[in-house]
Structure 1
Amino acid sequence: MTARWPALAAAFLLSAGSASAQAPDPVAVTVTDKGCEPAALTVPAGKSVFKISNKSRRVLEWEILQGTMIVEERENIIPGFVQSLSATLQPGSYEMTCGLLSNPKGTLTVTAATAAAPGAPDPMALVGPLAAYKLYVMAEVEAFHGQTAAFVAAVKADRIAEAKALYPQARRHYERIEPVASLFNDLDKSMDVRADDFERKDADPGFIGFHRLEKGLWADNSTEGLGAHADRLLADATELKRRIADLTIPPAKMVGGAAGLIEEVAATKISGEEDRYSRTDLWDFHANVEGSRKIFDLLRPLVATRDPDLVARTETNFSRVETLLAKYRTGDGGFAPYDSLSDRDRNALKRPITVLAEDLSTLRGKLGLD
């Protein structure tokens, strides 16, 4: 990995170089059922704060894209609510997602900054953790590709019981590295899209990927018509593996991913909306926690020098969540169906997961990446 260190250091400088600059006034964006208002924005390079108002009828995520890459995103914006997103952007042309996948994307133009930002944190401090995390991501995407190939083969051979057993095993590798895997907007939408992202729900032809196959296997108990979807999923998994091999992971995405994985569980997955047909949600929860802990473990020495109390508190919170999840382990190494948990069980999970997410959300600031 030594050859990648200059690129990693450069990436850190790029993301942190303007982090301490004074942010301008918030930029207001309203998302309706038809798209973004305004549909075109211009901001100066450096840090911007966007205020996203959801005036549509569905929970949405708002993303800033550069090509197929997600630069920044704010997930789980409830109808009628406003959420903030801080983004440190380099000059260039970007796109904004605007609700339903069928809605037109907005445009975001970032103009050159008028003054240089104050000095950034030492870029070399994160090079070691970034290199180690890249190795972890590469191993997980390799396992993901192999498990997905086995899952697809079972679907195409009409081996329903085998496909059902392989489904959560393949997905857990994706869920561990979701902060990186979801950087590629086109692949993330193809592999992990939910029916709720379409106006026609699960009847929409754009509803493909893991969850479309999940519906066929569990809700329909049939593989009829799933062959093309299975082939597309494997092709996407192959492309993801190729892209990740060439990717220099943005430091802010790695650090922010520790919180992002847990925040998603607390905000939406805890409701059971992720694997609604198979009820394999606890597999995903556990994989998200594993991926988050891996990032935290790599960053622990850096964070400990700045805030040892945060490290101790976060360790305790991780242990609490892991102990709760262990209660639902089954003898075969899997997890109990999520619909076997009571409301009390789910609430018992939600509180420590939310507390853990809150602590992890401070990591970017602690390391000078906000």
Structure 2
Amino acid sequence: MRRWAGGFGAAAVLAGIAALAGCSGSPAQPGPVEVSRSACGDGWTAPQAGPQTLQVRNDAAVTMEIELVDPATGTVFGELEGVGPGTTRALPVNFGNGAYALRCAPEDGTPFVGPTVQVTGGADRPGPAVVPVTNADLLGPLKQYHAYVADGLGTLTGQATALAQAVRSGNRDAAQQAWLTAHLTYERLGAAYDAFGDSDGAINGTTAGLPSGAADPGFTGFHRLENGLWHNEAMPALGPVADQLDQAVQKLRTSFAAAQIDQNDLGLRAHEIMENTLQFELTGRTDYGSGSNLATARANLAGTRAVLDVLRPLLTTRFPGLKDLDAWIARTDHDLQAVAGKPLSALDRQQRQRINADVSELTERLAPVAAIAEPRRVS
């Protein structure tokens, strides 16, 4: 049971694209622009330059994805996802001089581009456009990230076995250190959790939703062991818990070899990893005694960096904010390193505010990555 906050879905992706298009509140163009299986942009006359809102109506009997594109290059200026049959949706745009067209993608058909309209008499295009990322573009990054996770799981299996041995030895201090080492390794693999299936709940589940809380038999894995190690539970009683965790990790390593990471997950998880860090780690909601939330936050940051590293070839030419994003990641890492080894409760007010501000701002700066890296059908 992974702790995804769930607040960053299609609506937020659409908002990210709108932001990239330089849009703001604007007057609507009179009359709807109509799309269907056979036409993409009926009723669209040459728009004037500047900000405005297109009202786009889907006359087809199927759901459509609709994008405003440069017909020559395919770059995207705005999009509407999941426009249902008979539905009219608003598409805010900011037109500069140049050629534009709508690209329509029926959910069960091939995308096609409508007629071109030409905008003149205004300024140059005011906002960056986004060259679509396709499924083929993501094959390389997905392969690289799968290898990164497989390597991490290889490391984790050895650490989980060492953790179980430390618990069995009865040495609580050694077991606590082994727990922290293994748990941070797992927390660096954040973009693959959906591919882990039920194993994630067995390995890193919390008490959320469990009727008996920490005493519930469904509470297993790292946090169950953390609760026992830091609350003086008898070491012999923790042996089976550690063994169960070790077995779950071994099972995951084996099953992941044939698992696939969803193509939508890379860009989306880069944002959600830090969103969950803000919601769960920096509030202490996942602290079961170790006081390691700040260390976990830094491990999550390393996991975000790993995602960005494999996406970087796609982002370099598509995301003007990448350099600033890198700088903010470096700032956040520096500030987390400065409080390394401390529990949240040991931070003074200024330190707490700075860490919260770092991660909040970083989460916002990561949002466009999800929009840009979302694979699109272009043919």
Q: TM-score, normalised by structure 1?
A: 0.65
Question: 1:160, 1:222 within 8 Å by CA — same for their partners in 2?
Answer: no
* CA-CA distance at 1:316 after TM superposition: 1.6
The equivalent position to 1:327 in structure 2, one of 316, 324, 338, is: 338
Name the larger-Rg structure: 2
Q: Which digits, 9 at most, give the CA deviation of each residue in 1:228-272, with x for residues without a partner? A: 211211111011101211122222112222112111111221011
Question: 2:167, 2:238 within 8 Å by CA — same for their partners in 1?
Answer: yes
Pairs within 5 Å for 1:28-177: 115-116=108-109, 118=111, 121-177=133-189
CA distance in 2, matches of 1:148, 1:306: 40
User: What residue is the counterpart of 2:201 in the other structure?
Assistant: 189
Q: Which digits, 9 at most, give the CA deviation of each residue in 1:201-233, with x for residues without a partner? A: 112121111111111111125324222211211
Number of aligned positions between the proteins: 261
User: What residue is the counterpart of 1:277 in the other structure?
Assistant: 289
Question: 1:214, 1:277 within 8 Å by CA — same for their partners in 2?
Answer: yes
Query: Are positions 1:349 and 2:342 aligned together?
Result: no
Tell me which amino acid in the other structure corresponds to 1:116: G
Query: Are positions 1:307 and 2:319 aligned together?
Result: yes
Query: Structure 1 residues 152 and 298 mapped into 2: Cα distance closer, same or farther (>3 Å)?
Result: same
- Where does the alignment leave 5 or more consecutive residues of structure 2 unmatched? 1-16, 18-34, 36-61, 66-79, 83-105, 113-131
CA distance in 2, matches of 1:45, 1:243: 35
Q: Which digits, 9 at most, give the CA deviation of each residue in 1:314-370, with x for residues without a partner? A: 1121011011011023xxxxx223332234322211112111112212212113438
More displaced 10-residue stretch of structure 1: 233-242 or 265-274: 265-274
Question: 1:181, 1:240 within 8 Å by CA — same for their partners in 2?
Answer: no
Aligned-residue Cα RMSD (Å) equals 2.6
CA distance in 2, matches of 1:339, 1:222: 26
The equivalent position to 1:366 in structure 2, one of 360, 369, 372, is: 372
* CA-CA distance at 1:46 after TM superposition: 8.2
Query: Structure 1 residues 321 and 127 mapped into 2: Cα distance closer, same or farther (>3 Å)?
Result: same
Query: Are positions 1:209 and 2:221 aligned together?
Result: yes
Tell me which amino acid in the other structure corresponds to 2:111: P
CA distance in 2, matches of 1:114, 1:182: 24
Query: Are positions 1:316 and 2:327 aligned together?
Result: yes
Q: Which digits, 9 at most, give the CA deviation of each residue in 1:60-115, with x for residues without a partner? A: xxxxxxxxxxxxxxxxxxxxxxxxxx999xxxxxxxxxxxxxxxxxxxxxxxx863
CA distance in 2, matches of 1:139, 1:358: 30
CA distance in 2, matches of 1:343, 1:87: 42
Tell me which amino acid in the other structure corresponds to 1:127: L
- Where does the alignment leave 5 or more consecutive residues of structure 1 unmatched? 1-18, 23-43, 48-85, 89-112, 330-334
CA distance in 2, matches of 1:212, 1:203: 9
Tell me which amino acid in the other structure corresponds to 2:361: V
The equivalent position to 1:338 in structure 2, one of 344, 348, 351, is: 344
Tell me which amino acid in the other structure corresponds to 1:318: I
Q: Which digits, 9 at most, give the CA deviation of each residue in 1:143-167, with x for residues without a partner? A: 1111111011111221111001111
